[in-house]
Amino acid sequence: FQQAFDAANLRSSVDPILIARLINNLARLEFLRGNYFRAEALARDALAGRSSALESNHPDLAETKLVLGSILTECGDVQEAEALLRESSLARGRLYPRDHWLVAEAESALGWNLVRQGRMSDAETLLLNSWHATASVLLPEHVVRQTVGRRLASLYSRPEMKSDGALGTHSAEQAT
């Protein structure tokens, strides 16, 4: 990715949307590697490029908001992340059927953000819906399905979710 990005930056005739796609993919890769500082900078660059080149309802713009929102959630900037993740989720909800795995991916990221904020009830609904949508169409080894499963299992392993209250009705084993 880095070599492709460097090559693309050397050519002024390269489509700015292509450059933004490369930068977004680099941001996702750096995020998965745990390089959050670099991932955030790349995702912000991708968002700037895509925001200036694409319509507000474009799926690539929703993708970049999802990537940046996910990074910011892990970095602890949950308020900015929540706004981006809500925008991504709403955009994908307008672009795809309600039970589409891309909608579920965005809702899962938003749900995880809400877990990080301690808003368990709202998070549980989003994560359960995401699990049902991804488990029915994605193979078990698909990264999105695995991520949704890990998030749901993590939610149910939290002490506040193990009580006899309204939220304590599921177990971590049911999520995987």
Contact 103, 90 (CB under 8 A): no
Category of 55 on φ-ψ map: left (φ > 0), alpha (ψ -120 to 50) or beta? beta
Check residue 125 and give its pLDDT: 97
Residues 131, 135, 138, 144: what is their CA dihedral angle, to the nearest 10 degrees?
30
Tokens (6 digits) for 91: 């955009």
Spatial CB neighbours of 129, under 8 Å, sequence gap ≥ 6: 104, 107
Contact 170, 148 (CB under 8 A): no
Check residue 162 and give its pLDDT: 74
Mean pLDDT by 10 residues, the chain (176 residues): 58 76 95 96 96 94 98 98 98 96 98 97 97 96 97 94 54 48
